[in-house]
Amino acid sequence: MLLRENLRRGRRVAETDWATSGTIRQERDMGREEENTPFTCENCDREVLPLSNGSYRNHCPFCLFSKHVDVTLGDRRNECGGLMSPTGLTHKGGKGLQIIHRCRRCRAQSANRVAEDSVQPDDAEELLQLPPA
Ligand SMILES: [Zn+2]
Ligand SMILES: [Zn+2]
């Protein structure tokens, strides 16, 4: 009971957070069905479920690897498709904790929000191993 209440509260906070960042929300809504399907991580081979907190899952919660498929968050318009390694952890105002990913193929870098308050949240042990960026 208590857990469920906490989860509900967490979700509400996440929604409020998204609602205040209008541009991100717009980008995120494109191709949403495709975003919210389970995928198998190409680095650790584990099955990754979609986020249950209304946000977009773009990296593996177990090994934190990502895949280079977006130009902007969630659009799937990048054709690189390279595996992206987590290289660091940063904290930016208003956006919370973010993982810095670097593409092994084209060397592009991007920052992605840590997944919390969801099924399969990002592995805390793995997060702690990342150097501050
Ligand atoms: Zn993985
Ligand atoms: Zn790339």
85 confidence band (pLDDT: 50, 70, 90)? very high
CA of 87 to the centre of ligand 1 (A): 14
Residues β-bridged to residue 132 = 89
Average pLDDT estimate for 20-30: 45
CA distance 68 to 110: 9
* pLDDT score recorded for residue 106: 97
CA of 4 to the centre of ligand 2 (A): 39
Strand 96-103 to 109-113 pairing: antiparallel
CA distance 100 to 112: 6
CA distance 47 to 42: 10
Domain range list for the chain: 1-29, 31-129
CA of 83 to the centre of ligand 2 (A): 7
Ligand nearest to the CA of 86: 1
Ligand nearest to the CA of 126: 1
* pLDDT score recorded for residue 96: 85
55 confidence band (pLDDT: 50, 70, 90)? confident
Ligand nearest to the CA of 57: 1
| pLDDT greater at residue 10 or residue 38 | 38
φ, ψ (nearest 5 deg) of residue 31: 65, 30
